[in-house]
Amino acid sequence: MEFNFIEILLLIIGLYLLFTVIKLDGRLKGLKYTLDQISEQVNIPENPINDELRKLIKDGEDVKAVKKVRETLGLSLVEGKQYVDALKFEDK
């Protein structure tokens, strides 16, 4: 099986993009940790929508909670689900 130049180039570009995304994800997690630490030091209040989201989660309305957080904060579906899951596991 022989690979041509284009296929090898696409593979290299794909691997480069994958490693770049992994590196950016690590930096983003570090920035989030730093931001969380700063907000604790300055006593920035929690986002007011979190109380409403917790009530929806408690009532078993996870889908409505994701929809609400997406509409309010402008998050994607995946980001909204992650936000709701973080609230859900934070309260346990």
- DSSP track, 7-60: HHHHHHHHHHHHHHHHHHHHHHHHHHHHHHHHHHHHTPPPPTHHHHHHHHHHTT
Q: Where in the chain are the domains?
A: 1-44, 46-92
Instruction: Give tens-digit pLDDT for 6-27.
Output: 899 999 999 999 999 999 999 9
The pair of three-digit structure tokens given for residue 17, joined into one six-digit string: 């993009």
Q: What is the pTM of this model?
A: 0.59
Instruction: Give tens-digit pLDDT for 16-71.
Output: 999 999 999 999 889 988 988 898 888 888 888 999 999 999 999 999 999 999 99
The pair of three-digit structure tokens given for residue 91, joined into one six-digit string: 């309260």
Nearest to 73 by CA among 50, 41, 44, 43: 50
